[in-house]
Amino acid sequence: MTSGLCRYAVLATGLVGVVAAMSSSHGAEPVRLERAVIVADPEEPSFVQYGVEELAGYLKDMTGHEIPVVASGDRALGVRIVVGTKAAQGLFPEHLPDEALGEEGYVVRVTSEGRTACVCVAGTTPHGTKAALNVLMKAIRSEGASAFVPGTLNVAGKPALAKRGMHLNGWAIDYPYSFRSWREEDWQRYLDVLAYQGVNLFYLWPFIEIMPVPLSPEDTEYLQECRRVVDYAQRQHGMEVWLMQCTNRVARDRCGVVDPRLRPYWRPSQEDLDPGNAEHFQAIMASREAMYRIVDNADGVCNIDSDPGFCAGSPLSDYVKVLEGCRALLDEHNRHGKQAKLINWMLWGWGRAERMSMDGLVEHQRLTVQQIREALPEPWWLLCSQFGFLPPDQHQFLPVCREEKVLDKSVFFPYGIIEGEPSYPRTGLEIDRIRNTFENQIEHFPELAGAMGNVQTPLLQFPNVYYFTSAMFDAGYRNRSQQEVMLDLAGYLYPEHKQLVADCFLAMAEPDPVKVEALANLLDGVVREGRLGRGGLFGRKLFPDASIVAHSLVLQLRMRAAQERLAQSITATTPEGECERLLRDYFEAYLAWDTTHGWHRLWGWDQWPVSDARFVTVAEAMRASFGEEPELNACFERIVQALSAQYGEAAVREGCIAHWGK
């Protein structure tokens, strides 16, 4: 890599900490790409070739022009985008990334050949080239039908963390909010979005724990689909893929539901077995073998030590026995054989008398690591949890992993930092909290192999997921303000309205109901009139259509505006009619959002009631305003009558009125 490069922040790329700049003969002149030609060696691995196809497709989306992909740039006219070390070697050997950057070292650099601008996109290995392609695609901007990058674009570096993972874990609510309802194409689209964000470790839970053996045709087909999803992540994106499994939870029946996507969990017929019992142990192994036989292409299997799955009083030796059995099955059935990883998810610890207790947990996990080291052959790894309820500077298992000298095979997993699970579906803004996790946890343990986040409602949590993945890829991005992050993200979703969308994301924490409602109305008008425009890098992959994020924001903003207006406006002297209107408006906005994602169709109205600490005070003020209990009850009845036709009487009575003010 060329020495003496000064480091600076380039807003156009969204990258901060790995940016180096140098002058080019084009100065600040943008390099226009609408007539570009992509030069790439056809012998590049499949994930690089797919990245090239994505780049060509993205440029076509922006410009309307077909972007040719050629093996040689000798006869190409105009701007050339040269992808991969082999293609770049013959043209710009001096611009290749320094091999000292490691496997994912990359460079994205505007250079020139004669009077023609070129963009060099190369890595120390194909994985580095994949990273470079993602950096380039995030750097591209558009104006009308023109696409361009800055003429001074010059980015060289490597990702901040070697392994950058994402796990989807949650509950089967309505499509498309829950991944449990996704089909194969949906998984592919979301994997594309994760890849753009630099994710290279995908953690998939096939839910074998709700599929009794012998497998039904429907369960078999679902696992075959999981296998294809694993293959897509590996082949199209070069990702490593881990499967999740519980230690000892095994299904006895299908709960009367044929499609495993719709099957309920956790139910009594999905029971926790005792691996110390020979018959139970064989049932556990038969269940896991059924998954391994079909999903035989994963790079590893990760076993959670508890929740779900547990056996109080079971010794660690029985836990290790399960892992040894899984190891033997992987050796037999997985296409990677003895190279497939077996990963231990350190959570509440196996077999403890009080599962969800912190007492003695750290030392219990130390013993677990020691016994795994003694019993299991390599490769075994650790997924090292951190509980979200702990202060961000309170380390839990990381010191143990350091003392046991296994941090280099440990992936840090601050569970719930992106989104609590389970938690009511809403778009979160936890940028500062996530930043603290990186500053107070990850940065203190540089030996870590990587980090992973989890998300329950992926299409709602773009703000937190985007910041988390960006912080894993680029240490400098951790310094971005919440406002800057939202503007970056909005440009990747809906570039023609990025300021409005960024403001709407920020309004999810805005206390002024007038401002919130005004933004909701603006965005709603854009959506209803079909003016969202071309989808950005992420937006073009949204499903079931590109408006899903914007539409969900509108509903949530309306609920927030009504909630803030209710909480801030009612006093003991507020007229009865005004109290009734404010309460009805809030319930209506709440039900409009709830019935869209179906959270309470899963849990029932007696769970997860309407919640705002201020509502207790508001309810007391309403009682004072109405004076007599019969008059207040009559108000509730009028609200029931007003909303029942659209949302159903049970939803209004049981989901709203019954919990009001509690």
* pLDDT per position as a tens digit, 566-598: 999 999 999 999 999 999 999 999 999 999 999
The more confident residue out of 628 and 206 is 206
Residues 358 and 402 in one domain: yes
Residues 303 and 169 in one domain: yes
Q: Which amino acid is at 214?
A: P
Joined tokens for residue 425: 């579906």
Evaluate if residue 16 carries a pLDDT over 70: no
Evaluate if residue 166 carries a pLDDT over 50: yes
| Residue 136 CB coordination number (10 Å) | 25
Residues 170 and 115 in one domain: no
Determine, yes or no, domain membership for 459: yes
pLDDT of 92? 81
Residues 553 and 433 in one domain: no
Residues 97 and 201 in one domain: no
Joined tokens for residue 251: 């299904």
pLDDT of 356? 83
Residues 149 and 169 in one domain: no
Q: Which of 105, 135, 157 is the last residue of a domain?
A: 157
- CATH number of the domain encompassing residue 366: 3.20.20.80
Give the integer Cα–Cα distance in Å for 196 and 542: 13
Evaluate if residue 411 carries a pLDDT over 60: yes
Residues 181 and 217 in one domain: yes
Joined tokens for residue 347: 């959570």
Question: Which pLDDT band holds residue 17 (cuts at 50, 70, 90)?
Answer: very low
Place of tokens 């940016």: 19
Determine, yes or no, domain membership for 500: no
Contact predicate 575/625, CB 8 Å: yes
- CATH number of the domain encompassing residue 61: 3.30.379.10
- 392 upstream amide cis, omega within 30 of 0: no
Question: Which pLDDT band holds residue 501 (cuts at 50, 70, 90)?
Answer: very high
Q: Which of 611, 657, 659 is nearest to 634 (CA)?
A: 657
Residues 336 and 237 in one domain: yes
Determine, yes or no, domain membership for 429: yes
Q: Which of 443, 462, 480 is the last residue of a domain?
A: 480
pLDDT of 389? 64
Question: Which pLDDT band holds residue 236 (cuts at 50, 70, 90)?
Answer: very high
The percentage of residues in the chain with a pLDDT greater than 90, rounded to a whole number, is 87
Q: Which of 123, 139, 157 is the last residue of a domain?
A: 157
Determine, yes or no, domain membership for 122: yes
pLDDT digits (tens, 9 = 90+) for 384-406: 998 766 666 667 899 999 999 99
Give the integer Cα–Cα distance in Å for 238 and 121: 17
Question: Which pLDDT band holds residue 28 (cuts at 50, 70, 90)?
Answer: low
Joined tokens for residue 578: 């005004």
Residues 246 and 273 in one domain: yes
pLDDT of 6? 30
List, in sequence order, every residue forming a beta bridge with 308; answer none if it has no partner. none
The percentage of residues in the chain with a pLDDT greater than 70, rounded to a whole number, is 94
Determine, yes or no, domain membership for 618: yes
Residues 438 and 381 in one domain: yes
pLDDT of 76? 67
pLDDT of 386? 85
**What are the CA-CA distances from residue 424 to residues 581, 593, 657 (Å)?**
25, 11, 18
**What are the CA-CA distances from residue 104 to residues 112, 238, 285, 475, 583 (Å)?**
25, 12, 37, 15, 55
Joined tokens for residue 209: 């724990």
Range of the domain at 99: 6-157
**Angle of helix 217-237 relative to helix 184-196, nearest 10 degrees?**
30
Determine, yes or no, domain membership for 391: yes
Q: How many domains in the chain?
A: 3
Which residues make Cβ contacts (< 8 Å) with residue 171, sequence separation at least 6? 178, 180, 421, 422, 456, 602
Lowest model confidence (mean pLDDT) among 26-30, 301-305, 588-592: 26-30
Average pLDDT of every residue of the chain:
93
Residues 177 and 142 in one domain: no
Residues 513 and 627 in one domain: yes
| Residue 379 CB coordination number (10 Å) | 15
Give the integer Cα–Cα distance in Å for 277 and 422: 32
Determine, yes or no, domain membership for 47: yes
pLDDT of 75? 67
Which residues make Cβ contacts (< 8 Å) with residue 207, sequence separation at least 6? 180, 260, 265
Determine, yes or no, domain membership for 320: yes
Question: Which pLDDT band holds residue 90 (cuts at 50, 70, 90)?
Answer: confident
Residue range 271-291: mean pLDDT, rounded: 98
Give the integer Cα–Cα distance in Å for 168 and 182: 12
Question: Which pLDDT band holds residue 25 (cuts at 50, 70, 90)?
Answer: very low
Give the integer Cα–Cα distance in Å for 523 and 536: 17
Which residues make Cβ contacts (< 8 Å) with residue 476, sequence separation at least 6? 9, 15, 16, 17, 18, 19
